[in-house]
């Protein structure tokens, strides 16, 4: 357990709310630990029902049959099932392609139309392939009695195509206890002597998304690991790719954009890569700057050298200058890869993730014309080299960055080409298809980041995109017709285990996930890795980690972000939340067997502790700077040491990952500070003071960077507490006393001796405090000096609390978590929906359905409405801020409206487009967009604050009204008192 800095509040000062999480789990009932679509195939314990199908019993395994005529990818995966059964039981099944001599119980694997054994069972009506045959990647698993001569009973896995069969096989592997992450995250395989599966027929129907895949990008660590550990001498080659292919298929992915940066060997450098992808059943594509599978970073320069211009100069990668050379370059790749299953990227950008270069096309209209010509010529190449008709060859067009502007300006993308819509690189979809675009025969897809290198900040180190955020944006895209191709940027792959798993589960069966299912699915996933006994606790810890990252990803931390002096020490509340989660994680870890410790470190303890230390070093450095400003003595050095120790601890933690975990298997795979891509920030410079024998009293009260000028404020509604920092201006021990002026003023400590600093918590005995407004004091005495700290106490008594019907203004503001509405009024076929785990505060509300119509007109009569009862203590015109998750729409803005009582709704728009503007940059870094207006409260007392959905998809996290006392801080202030939702905010 990592120690907290001295002089800081207790660990329980702030722990992320569990209300939304537990509510989601409760709604789900008994937590399933296998996907619903295949739950009836779950592996049974040794005491299974008599009619269960035994894969292993009495030390003997059922033989595994696959036809020699079946696809090479199917024959290969049968070998994986053989190995998986041995992993579980220690017994290696016989794998054969002969039907004679099979065991009396056997596993029969095959693809419809490619396996005579399977086809005979279908023709005889023995195998139910309705809703499977002729479909994309579908399969059926069924127990068949006496399927062939000599076999009494068989477990038959039949696919509609080769990947359908593959997914059926890997489903069986996972049901018997082999996690898709058994190798990539060292998840152990529990041993069982008897392995039995339930006999019920199970069909896996077509996936929700046709092509589901990953992009290995900004892959410096993966490349270094491959080069130094996995396959020495190769910066990601066939050995690494076969491991990646297997993982993808176990996750039910089928589509890869290979690593493409300078630090990696390009995919086609090794001919075995493409061959092995085919043998595994992986479809290979390429990213937005890699037209027709060409890796320009590595392949253009040699091509240019070999195809110089007539004057001997090197051709430029500019279609307006060297079209023939570029066309020949593309044609050569199409010819070489024509025999493999590929998705071909059409269009063009610069050589290395840079903008399109067109020296001879200056205007937007000219550039549009160039892009149209490029696409026409590329499709001609594909028709010549890959297929007789270009429309029969899967193609995508990716309007990424500047290409989106050209597309919107008139680029003509043929109807059979799939449009791939990108997010803003930070998890917010930029633009979704129109009604006309949804009708395209090629359909629509998306390119989504859970790892990113670029502006305004990069996040490459840890998995920090909350599952609820992934669900929100992918579901919104799906509901708006983006259903053909999903590609997820996973960076180095390692550390993205959770987010990638959940994204691929969504891509396979999106209707299985509702808004309230995100937490149960996270718990379900945790249970598959670590067992049902720990599933909920691990998922809840992980969700707390995501909630903290939603406020600020650890890679985004910098000096001066979180307040050290407001809202009970905002920075320390965050650190205490991390420490609480780490403590809970360590407690779980102590309960897990030794075989699970590596996986537990990789999947939970490292990202959680690493994120904490990244935050801690900056918080301590900020405290060091504040200590200098306050004139502290020894405390300056204490915080400097803590900041530097946090950096050292973080480096030691990463060193453990790379040298000790899994026996050094992951050497070089994890590094917050890689050589060739953006780095996480290191500890900022700190100040130290030379120790002396001096001693002196210093005092700083909450709300003041220095001194005590701003009184400590208290209200009987939140029943809050405040802190006073007592510190030594020197280095010799300081003795001090704290003396409240009234007996009902409570202090956590009345006296002490410290060489550096101490924190006193001040509270109020509300039963004894006088009604109304009081002005008591706390006197701090030490080193011959007395400092008087003023307090302001407002006590409305128990009656005030008992009569409140909603949120109550106190301490100069009203703070509301948006899901805590008193009333919901659906209208026009739309509503507001609560999404647990979304945003900074544990849940958010979102306008639904995602494909609802825009609701113009008077919001009071047409728009879904949320109502919040609010008691204002004062009247006036006050700023109100709606904390909305970043919302983008390149064709416009997503609007909502707010108002008070019967007043006219005030329309809020915000930033609708991705650009280099300060507003968008701030929004994506902070994970929130603050929409501010003002409301007029005509009288103190009860009012109703109203929020209307105007456009669908708006996700609102919090609402804050500043009534004159709201101090500046990074986060919204703690939620105000509410008799139902937050009756004890000060506890």
**661-685: pLDDT as tens digits:** 999 999 999 999 998 889 999 999 9
Please tell me the distance from the alpha carbon of residue 371 to that of residue 375, in angstroms, as a whole number.
6
Q: What does the pLDDT average to over 585-608?
A: 98
pLDDT at position 510 is 96
For residue range 136-193, list pLDDT tens digits in order: 999 999 999 999 999 999 999 999 999 999 999 999 999 999 999 999 999 999 999 9
Please tell me the distance from the alpha carbon of residue 962 to that of residue 336, in angstroms, as a whole number.
65
| Contacts (Cβ under 8 Å, ≥6 apart) of 266 | 258, 259, 260, 295, 297, 298, 299
| Share in percent of the chain as helix, strand, coil (round to 5) | 35, 20, 45
pLDDT at position 165 is 98
Task: Show the 3-state SS of 903-944.
Answer: CCCEEECCCCCCCCCHHHHHHHHHCCEEEEEEEEECCCEEEE
Mean pLDDT over the full length of the chain:
93
On the question of pLDDT at 16 being above 50, the answer is no
Which residue, chain included where needed, has tokens 């090629």? Answer: 442
676, 220 Cβ separation under 8 angstroms: yes
Which residue from 953, 973, 949 is spatially nearest to 963, judged by alpha carbons? 973
945, 546 Cβ separation under 8 angstroms: no
pLDDT at position 914 is 61
For residue range 233-246, list pLDDT tens digits in order: 999 999 999 999 99
| Contacts (Cβ under 8 Å, ≥6 apart) of 969 | 562, 563, 566, 567, 570
Please tell me the distance from the alpha carbon of residue 163 to that of residue 707, in angstroms, as a whole number.
69
On the question of pLDDT at 17 being above 60, the answer is no
| DSSP conformational letter for 975 | P
| Among 64-78, 729-743, 885-899, the least confident range | 885-899
713, 789 Cβ separation under 8 angstroms: no
For residue range 548-594, list pLDDT tens digits in order: 999 999 999 999 999 999 999 999 999 999 999 999 999 999 999 99
Query: What percent of the chain is modeled with pLDDT above 90?
Result: 90
pLDDT at position 21 is 40
Task: Please report which residue ranges of 231-362 form alpha helices under DSSP H.
Answer: 238-250, 271-280, 296-306, 323-337
pLDDT at position 401 is 87
For residue range 417-467, list pLDDT tens digits in order: 999 999 999 999 988 999 999 999 999 999 999 999 998 999 999 999 999
For residue range 838-850, list pLDDT tens digits in order: 999 999 999 999 9
Q: What does the pLDDT average to over 633-660?
A: 98
Confidence bin at 391 (pLDDT 50/70/90) = low
Rounded alpha-carbon distances, angstroms, from residue 178 to 84, 169, 186, 973: 7, 12, 11, 45
Confidence bin at 32 (pLDDT 50/70/90) = very low
pLDDT at position 894 is 85
For residue range 801-816, list pLDDT tens digits in order: 999 999 999 999 999 9
| DSSP conformational letter for 196 | E
Determine whether 211 is exposed, middle or buried from the number of CB atoms within 10 Å of its CB (0-12, 13-18, 19+): buried
Q: What does the pLDDT average to over 64-73?
A: 97
Which residue from 38, 42, 35 is spatially nearest to 203, judged by alpha carbons? 38
Tokens encoding 875: 């009247």
Please tell me the distance from the alpha carbon of residue 796 to that of residue 773, in angstroms, as a whole number.
9
Q: What does the pLDDT average to over 644-648?
A: 98
Confidence bin at 889 (pLDDT 50/70/90) = confident
DSSP-derived pairing of the beta strands 105-111 and 906-908: unpaired
> Bridge partners of 753?
735
Confidence bin at 916 (pLDDT 50/70/90) = low
On the question of pLDDT at 711 being above 80, the answer is yes
Confidence bin at 33 (pLDDT 50/70/90) = very low
On the question of pLDDT at 112 being above 60, the answer is yes
Please tell me the distance from the alpha carbon of residue 370 to that of residue 348, in angstroms, as a whole number.
10
pLDDT at position 890 is 62
Angle between helices 518-530 and 19-28 (to 10 degrees): 80
Please tell me the distance from the alpha carbon of residue 362 to that of residue 228, in angstroms, as a whole number.
46
Q: What does the pLDDT average to over 959-963?
A: 98
For residue range 211-233, list pLDDT tens digits in order: 999 999 999 999 999 999 999 99
Confidence bin at 477 (pLDDT 50/70/90) = very high
Sign of CA dihedral 397, 401, 404, 405: negative
* Cis omega (within 30 of 0) for bond into 849: yes
Tokens encoding 761: 């918590």
pLDDT at position 44 is 42
Q: What does the pLDDT average to over 647-655?
A: 98
Tokens encoding 832: 């507001």
For residue range 780-838, list pLDDT tens digits in order: 999 999 999 999 999 999 999 999 999 999 999 999 999 999 999 999 999 999 999 99
Strands in 60-61's sheet, in edge-to-edge order, are: 43-44, 195-197, 53-57, 60-61
DSSP-derived pairing of the beta strands 751-754 and 785-795: unpaired
Please tell me the distance from the alpha carbon of residue 900 to that of residue 577, in angstroms, as a whole number.
34
Q: In the chain, what's the furthest Cα-to-Cα distance?
A: 100
320, 370 Cβ separation under 8 angstroms: yes
Q: pTM of whole model > 0.75?
A: yes
Please tell me the distance from the alpha carbon of residue 642 to that of residue 657, in angstroms, as a whole number.
22
Please tell me the distance from the alpha carbon of residue 845 to that of residue 953, in angstroms, as a whole number.
10
pLDDT at position 953 is 87
pLDDT at position 388 is 76
On the question of pLDDT at 4 being above 50, the answer is no
């Amino acid at each position: 357990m990592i120690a907290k800095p001295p002089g800081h509040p207790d660990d329980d000062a702030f722990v992320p709310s569990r209300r939304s999480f537990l509510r989601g789990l409760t709604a789900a009932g008994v937590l399933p630990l296998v996907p619903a679509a295949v739950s009836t195939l779950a592996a049974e314990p040794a005491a299974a029902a008599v009619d269960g199908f035994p894969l292993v019993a009495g030390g003997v395994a059922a033989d595994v049959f696959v036809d020699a005529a079946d696809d090479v990818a199917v024959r290969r995966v049968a070998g994986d099932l053989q190995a998986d059964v041995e992993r579980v039981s220690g017994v290696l099944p016989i794998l054969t392609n002969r039907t004679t001599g099979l065991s009396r119980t056997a596993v029969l694997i095959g693809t419809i139309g490619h396996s005579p054994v399977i086809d005979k069972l279908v023709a005889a009506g023995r195998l139910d392939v309705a809703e499977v045959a002729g479909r994309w990647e579908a399969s059926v698993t069924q127990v068949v009695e006496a399927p062939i001569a000599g076999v009494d009973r068989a477990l038959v896995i039949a696919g509609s195509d080769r990947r359908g069969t593959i997914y059926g096989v890997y489903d069986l592997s996972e049901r018997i206890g082999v996690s898709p992450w058994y190798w990539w995250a060292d998840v152990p395989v529990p041993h069982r002597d008897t392995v039995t599966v339930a006999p019920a027929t199970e069909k896996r129907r077509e996936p929700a998304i046709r092509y589901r895949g990953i992009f290995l990008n900004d892959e410096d660590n993966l490349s270094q690991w491959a080069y130094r550990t996995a396959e020495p001498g190769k910066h990601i080659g066939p050995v690494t790719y076969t491991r990646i292919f297997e993982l993808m298929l176990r996750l039910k992915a089928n589509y890869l954009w290979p690593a493409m940066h300078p630090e990696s060997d390009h995919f086609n450098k090794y001919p075995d890569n493409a061959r092995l992808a085919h043998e595994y059943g992986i479809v290979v594509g390429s990213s937005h700057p890699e037209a027709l599978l060409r890796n320009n970073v590595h392949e253009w320069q040699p091509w240019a050298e070999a195809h110089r211009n007539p004057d001997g100069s090197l051709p430029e990668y500019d279609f307006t200058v060297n079209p023939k050379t570029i066309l020949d370059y593309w044609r050569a790749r199409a010819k070489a890869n024509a025999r493999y299953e590929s998705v071909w990227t059409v269009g063009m950008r610069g050589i290395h993730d840079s903008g399109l270069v067109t020296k001879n096309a200056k205007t937007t209209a000219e550039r549009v014309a160039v892009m149209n010509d490029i696409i026409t010529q590329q499709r001609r190449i594909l028709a010549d080299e890959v297929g007789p008709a270009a429309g029969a060859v899967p193609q995508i067009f990716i309007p990424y960055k500047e290409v989106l502007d050209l597309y919107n300006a008139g680029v003509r993308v043929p109807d059979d080409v799939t449009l791939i819509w990108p997010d803003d690189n930070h998890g917010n979809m930029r633009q979704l298809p129109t009604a006309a675009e949804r009708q395209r025969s090629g359909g629509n897809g998306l390119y989504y980041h859970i790892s990113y290198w670029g502006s305004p900040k990069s996040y490459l180190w840890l998995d920090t995109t909350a599952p609820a955020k992934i669900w929100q944006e992918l579901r919104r895209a799906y509901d708006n017709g983006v259903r053909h191709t999903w590609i997820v940027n996973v960076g180095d792959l390692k550390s993205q285990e959770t987010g990638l798993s959940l994204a691929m589960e969504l891509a396979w069966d999106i209707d299985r996930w509702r808004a309230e299912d995100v937490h149960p699915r996270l718990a379900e996933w945790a249970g598959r890795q670590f067992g049902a006994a720990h599933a909920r606790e691990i998922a809840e810890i992980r969700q707390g980690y995501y909630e903290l990252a939603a406020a600020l990803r650890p890679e985004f931390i910098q000096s001066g972000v979180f307040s050290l002096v407001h809202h009970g020490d905002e920075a320390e509340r965050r650190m205490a939340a991390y420490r609480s989660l780490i403590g809970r994680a360590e407690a779980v870890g102590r309960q897990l067997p030794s075989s699970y410790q590596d996986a537990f470190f990789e999947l939970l303890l490292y990202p959680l502790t690493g994120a904490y230390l990244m935050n801690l070093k900056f918080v301590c450095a900020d405290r060091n700077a504040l200590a200098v400003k306050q004139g502290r003595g020894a405390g300056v050095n204490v915080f400097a040491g803590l900041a530097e120790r946090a950096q050292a601890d973080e480096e030691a933690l990463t060193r453990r990952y790379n040298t000790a975990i899994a026996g050094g298997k992951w050497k070089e795979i994890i590094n917050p500070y890689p050589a060739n891509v953006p780095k996480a920030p290191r500890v900022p410079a700190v100040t130290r003071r030379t120790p002396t024998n001096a001693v002196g009293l210093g005092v700083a009260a909450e709300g003041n960077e220095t001194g005590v000028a701003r009184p400590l404020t208290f209200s009987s509604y939140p029943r809050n507490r405040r802190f006073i920092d007592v510190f030594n201006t020197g280095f010799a021990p300081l003795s001090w006393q704290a003396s409240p002026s009234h007996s009902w003023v409570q202090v956590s400590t009345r006296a002490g001796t410290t060489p550096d600093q101490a924190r006193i918590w001040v509270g109020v005995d509300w039963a004894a405090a006088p009604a109304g407004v009081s002005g008591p004091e706390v006197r701090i005495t030490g080193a011959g000096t007395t400092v008087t700290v003023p307090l302001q106490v407002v006590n409305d008594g128990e009656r005030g609390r008992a009569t409140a019907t909603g949120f109550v203004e106190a301490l100069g503001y009203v703070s509301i978590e948006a899901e805590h509405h008193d009333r919901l009024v659906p209208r026009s076929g739309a509503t507001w929906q609560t999404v647990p785990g979304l945003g900074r505060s544990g849940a958010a509300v979102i306008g639904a359905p995602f494909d609802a119509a825009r609701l113009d007109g008077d919001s009071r009569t047409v728009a879904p409405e949320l109502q919040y009862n609010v008691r204002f203590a004062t009247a006036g015109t006050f700023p109100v801020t709606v904390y909305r998750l970043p919302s983008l729409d390149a064709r416009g803005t997503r609007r909502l409206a707010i108002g008070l009582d019967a007043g006219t709704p005030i329309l809020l728009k915000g930033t609708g487009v991705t650009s280099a503007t300060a507003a968008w940059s701030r929004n994506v870094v902070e994970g929130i967009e603050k929409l501010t207006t003002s409301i007029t409260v005509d009288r103190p007392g009860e009012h109703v604050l109203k929020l209307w959905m105007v456009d669908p998809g708006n996700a609102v996290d919090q609402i804050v009204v500043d009534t004159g006392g709201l101090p500046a801080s990074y986060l919204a202030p703690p939620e105000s008192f509410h008799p139902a939702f937050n009756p004890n905010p000060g506890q």
